[in-house]
Amino acid sequence: MPHLELSLRCSEAEQPRYERALADVGALAVTMLDADAETANEHAILEPGVGETPLWNTLELSALFPHDTDALLLLAALEAFDPALDWTRAAFRNVGDQDWERAWMDRYTPLRFGARTWIVPWNSELPDEAAHADAAVVRLDPGLAFGSGTHPTTALCLQWLDALAAEGALQDREVLDYGCGSGILALAALKLGAARAIGIDNDPQALLASADNADRNDVGARLQVSLPQDAPAGPYPVVVANILAAALDALAEPLAERVAPGGRITLSGILDGQQEDVLRRYRPWFESLAVAHEGDWVRIDGVRRRG
């Protein structure tokens, strides 16, 4: 199926605002490349190493929308969301699934998160460091669903899951991945020792991608995917929610109800500067709240209060 692609150049400082606006109006996927690279082969996907901050001056940002999206109406929605940004830079073209997936696979290389977790594309050989029995390897073909490990919000969650596994807090547990996208976080949790995972998303394409990726990683029998209204209520000992801050605010109470007393939660998709509002929203239900940063993005994790 063809899709409408919006592309534009922006500064590294502007990137979070552009990305937030694109996500708000329904982008199916967003990628960022180094626009200063001299050739296509020198492009690198925006994926800082652990503890690093991207230093690119100019980014080439691309977003996918359904093929029948009206470009003019889309621009109007984007301008209404953030009129201070220069949307006249945007260019549009029609692309097919194969074009998008091939570009992603050609640019993506194996990535490590924490001590054990590896995200490896299907067309890559397994790195020597990941070829040991203790490695938690997720082979991924995200298609058009968000979540490949190439975004700081996903990286922050993968690092948290890896650390949780090191504590023994994932072993034989049930994990809820709210806003599962490609299923990457649920799959990583299963590979790290979780007994079962529930993936929730309001995008049917994301549920299909999650289920397909689970089957390819031989954990399909341990992953259940569903729309929010059809999902089992829980509660769960581990909950991951990698969604935007506005959604985290709106879903605070129902998300808290899905975490078992003494259970762990991590919240991501939060821009630096939004964390105080999110912390204030979740304090009635959670303690030991901690904040982690990567670039312009923030992760918050905590423990569900007992009683």
Residues in CB range of 88: below 8 A, 6 or more apart? none
Gap between the Cα atoms of 108 and 148, Å rounded: 9
* Nearest 10 degrees: Cα torsion 241, 243, 247, 248: 40
The response to whether 242 counts as a known ligand-binding position is yes
Cα-to-chain-centroid distance, residue 84: 26
The response to whether 53 counts as a known ligand-binding position is no
Gap between the Cα atoms of 74 and 8, Å rounded: 14
Q: Element (H or E) spanning 286, and its range?
A: strand 286-294
Helix (H, G, I), strand (E, B) or coil at 109: coil
The response to whether 218 counts as a known ligand-binding position is no
- Give me the numbers of helices (H) and strands (E) for the chain, helices first please: 9, 14
Q: Which residues are annotated as a binding site for S-adenosyl-L-methionine?
A: 154, 179, 201, 242
Annotated binding site: 154, 179, 201, 242
